[in-house]
Structure 1
Amino acid sequence: MSGTSTTIDDVAERSASGTSPHGPGAAVVAPPEGTLDHDHGRGPLTHDTFALHLDEALAATRTVLHEHLVQGAASAATGGRPVVDLWTDLADQVGGKLVRPRLTLAAYLGLGGRDLGAVAPVAAAQELLHTAMLVHDDLLDHDETRRGRSNLAGATRSRLAAAGTDGSRADVHVQAAALLGGDLAIAGAFDLVLSSTATPGERLAVTAQLVRAVQVAVAGEVLDVSGPLLAPGDVDPALVAELKTATYTCVVPLACGAILAGADAASRASLETYGRALGVAFQLVDDLLGVFGDPRVTGKSALSDLREGKRTLLLACAYRGAEPADVALLDQHVGRADLTEAGAAVVRDVMRRTEAPDAVRASVAHHLDEARAAAAELPAPLGRYLLDLADSFADRAA
């Protein structure tokens, strides 16, 4: 793998900005009210008007997120400084590339939606749900940094240390903050849906999708956490990727946009197929980067997955193709909490000998082809936008 960052967030931003034909990134310029028709009429969107509307809708979504977090912190003031700190630390983790809101907005606009008041809060809800997943995932992994910065847990520990609380006394408070901060973000996602101007039926259908996202992601996390207790061949990495990542990252955001736009069953089915395929491809590439990526570029350790013994497709392919001597090397090093870079290099050599990285790339290519086929069934410019996203991701997965 090259050292290029291949997170789905990075690729989605490039696919919707100057490095792809979809226009510049969004800036906060307007509140989420009114429609996106302006002087463009009610006819089908052109490529250019789609890009313009997506930028405007992203700006509105950023505004909704900002206002939700500001109002939450203001309301929390009656609870005292620790509650305000929790909201502040949560707000510091929200934002970034907004890939999940982008997918909701793209589906909505591409399938005929125009009402900012209906879609912006729902798009913002996708980002808060994502934040909750990150906060809780870091808690499960005992991580206190993300992409080189302190996460919610890390910020809490730093504040406690400054006040003279450290060690095991601080651990309880750090873990509680991460748990409760993630809970706040989940609740906030549902709160944002309630604030949408969509019809009650549409809000109910979107709420059901968010419930689906949480339940499926929890199932994926359970399988991921329990995976190291099983032999590599006894875990289905593609299923874990679909449950833990694809559903809440791609499938549900696209489905929510389609629901609000009143899309037909065929379009919703194509979006479901696209989202599942792209999300699985993303997770498979992420697993490759977890072993072969450059941490300075990816922001992710190249040792943690191996130390954990994470049951990825990469590891399964290595075991499947390994000779007995290489199986012994994998058994010796994978899953060691004290694994060194030298030990990791031995594992990487085994993986290369068994052609495990190539097998994973072939699986990524298969899933991206499936995504492209689904995108081709959708109306332009939505289909083109999603096709460009898959193509951009393929370039960075090579």
Structure 2
Amino acid sequence: MIALAPAPAAAIDDAIDDAVGRIRERALTLGGGFPTLGDAIARATEGGKRFRPALVAASFQAFGGDPLDTPVLYPIAAAFELLHTAFVVHDDVIDHDTVRRGIPNIAGEFRERARLRGADASGAALLGDAAAILAGDLLLHEACRLVALADVAPVRREALLALLDDAVFVSAAGELADVEHAVSPEWAEPDALLNAAHDKTAVYSFTAPLCAGAVLAGADHAAIAALERAGSRLGLAFQLVDDLIGAFGSSDQAGRESGGDLREAKRTPLVSLARDSGAWPQVSEALAVAHTGPVAVREAQRALDESGARLRLLALIAGTLAEARDAAEDPSLPPAARGLVDTLVAAVSERVP
């Protein structure tokens, strides 16, 4: 993940801990399995890079904001980390994943809880999924609560809530489109796959955090609009690089076995570019057996390379990042904000496998 410096990491961590602590305290008063769910939520928020709250803080400072004068910066930043965790928890349910970062996720923990209490496999899966869905719901609620209770002028609170609203709706639309593309017998058009890739990530990971920091610092409408354009391009490029990592990245980059997206036959923009080439029969044949092991994965990687899809996606990423830089040249942005976008462009580029 992208690292930003300097960032008030300790203050952000404290704000996240306070929010999660409130969830755990409320869970304790309700008894039953709820305190266990509160503990699982706390574990789900640990170990991440916390890029999105750092981006809120970096944008705030780029627009001349002083954290000492605006202590609400940290709860607002924390809201975007809780939003991210909520999406991750729900995404694991959608993907039927029970492990994250090598340990059981919330669904995995509650499946084991059910098994220890005598449930069969079906019952364990039901409890695991229910717990994860509810955990994501609680995290979404807490993120909204942090913004709704922010001690800022009403006009800024309204702007922050609009950003959060957009992040939730666009991300949900992107996730639904992604699943629809995966289960449809027909391939979606490349533009539809690109739109889904954008919507899944760009708004909640880049546009909304960038704009939230700027709103808190008092940026005007022209600057917010320029940041929206830059964030949109950054988010799409980031997701396209993720597609490359999922197909060609090392196990360290991907956080799992190399070629995981090829093993799972994911319908990504990368594969759609290969489908649009004369080499698609060879690529399709290689992808059909990629799940069988490392040798088949390497053959699928070779077929994608030879189809030209990798080079075309690299060109698309470069063009998208150039658009982000162009958006940052807007005269409404202060030099530090333009520098922040340039830093993000460089960091996304450095992730390319």
2:306 is equivalent to residue 353 of structure 1: yes
- Superposition TM-score, scaled by structure 2 size: 0.90
Identify which of 132, 143, 146 aligns with 2:97.
143
- Identify the residue that residue 289 of structure 1 maps to in structure 2: 245
Q: Deviations over 1:166-223 (max 9, x none)?
A: 5112010001011100000100101111332111221122112111111111110111
Equivalent position of 1:112 in the other structure: 64
| Contact map agreement 1:290 1:300 (CA 8 A) in 2 | no
State the SS of the aligned residue for 1:321.
coil
CA distance in 2, matches of 1:146, 1:270: 36
**CA spacing shift, 1:364–1:83, aligned 2, 3 Å:** same
Instruction: Please state how far the C-alpha of 1:239 moved relative to its aligned partner.
Output: 0.7
Instruction: Specify the code of the residue in structure 2 equivalent to 1:64.
Output: A
Which 10-residue stretch deviates more, 313-322 or 167-176? Answer: 313-322
CA shift, 1:327, in A, is 5.4
Q: Tell me how large the CA RMSD over aligned residues is.
A: 2.2
Residues 324, 121 of structure 1: alpha-carbon distance in 2 compared, 3 angstrom cutoff: closer
Q: C-alpha separation between the residues in 1 aligned to 2:42 and 2:280?
A: 50
Equivalences, count = 346
Q: How does 1:309-388 map to 2 (within 5 A)?
A: 309-323=265-279, 325-326=281-282, 329=285, 332-333=288-289, 339-377=292-330, 378-388=333-343
Q: 1:73 aligns with which of 24, 48, 66?
A: 24
Q: Residues 299 and 215 from structure 1, CA distance in 2 versus in 1: closer, same or farther, beyond 3 angstroms?
A: same
Aligned equivalent of 1:207: 161
The farther-off stretch of 189-198 and 125-134 is 189-198
Greater relative CO (CA pairs within 8 A, separation 6+): 1
Q: CA deviation at 1:99?
A: 1.0
What code does the residue aligned with 2:234 have?
L
Name the structure 2 match of 1:391: 346
**Aligned ranges 1:87-126 → 2 under 5 Å:** 87-95=38-46, 96-114=48-66, 115-126=69-80
Shift of residue 368, structure 1, vs aligned partner: 1.4
Q: Is the 8 A contact 2:156 2:216 kept in 1?
A: yes
Partners of 1:240 and 1:330 lie apart in 2 by 25
What is the rounded CA distance, in whole Å, between the counterparts of 1:296 and 1:119 in structure 2? 33
- Equivalent AA in structure 1 for residue 235 of structure 2: G
Report percent identity of matched pairs.
Answer: 36
> Within 1, Cα distance between the matches of 2:346 and 2:92?
30
Q: Greater CA deviation, 193-202 or 158-167?
A: 158-167
Q: Residues of 1 paired with 2:338 and 2:283: CA distance?
A: 44
Equivalent in 212, 226, 231 of residue 275 of structure 1: 231
Asked if structure 1 preserves the Cα contact closer than 8 Å seen for 2:265 and 2:287, the reply is: no
Whether the 8 Å contact between 1:254 and 1:275 is mirrored in structure 2 is yes
Deviation at 1:251, TM superposition (A): 0.7
Mind listing any 5+ residue stretches in structure 2 that lack a counterpart? none
CA shift, 1:272, in A, is 0.7
Equivalent residue, structure 2, for 1:234:
189
Name which of structure 1's ranges 293-302 and 274-283 shifts more when overlaid on structure 2.
Answer: 293-302
CA distance in 2, matches of 1:327, 1:282: 24
Q: Distance between the aligned counterparts of 1:324 and 1:189, measured in 2? A: 44
- State the distance in 2 between where 1:316 and 1:256 align: 34
Which of 106, 116, 127 aligns to 1:152? It is 106
Greater shift in the superposed pair: 215-224 or 225-234: 225-234
* Distance in structure 2 (CA, Å) of the matches to 1:201 and 1:253: 18
Q: In the alignment, is the contact (CA less than 8 A) between 1:285 and 1:397 conserved in 2? A: yes
* Cα displacement string for residues 238-264 of structure 1 (whole angstroms, at most 9, x for unaligned residues): 211211110111011112122222211
Alignment match, 1:246: 202
In structure 1, runs of 5+ residues without a counterpart are 1-9, 17-50
Q: Is the 8 A contact 1:232 1:319 kept in 2?
A: no
2:36 is aligned with 1:85: yes
**What letter matches 1:102 in structure 2?**
A
Moved more, 88-97 or 299-308: 299-308
Residue 277 of structure 1 deviates from its aligned partner by 0.9
**For residue 386 of structure 1, what is the amino acid of its counterpart?**
V
Q: Assess if the C-alpha contact under 8 Å between 2:107 and 2:129 holds in 1.
A: yes
CA contact (8 A) 1:274 1:371 kept: yes
8 Å contact from structure 1 (residues 290, 301) kept in 2: no
CA contact (8 A) 1:146 1:299 kept: no
Q: 1:249-264 alignment to 2 at 5 Å? A: 249-264=205-220
Q: Encode CA deviations 1:146-181: one digit per residue, 9 max, x unaligned.
A: 232322212222333444445112010001011100
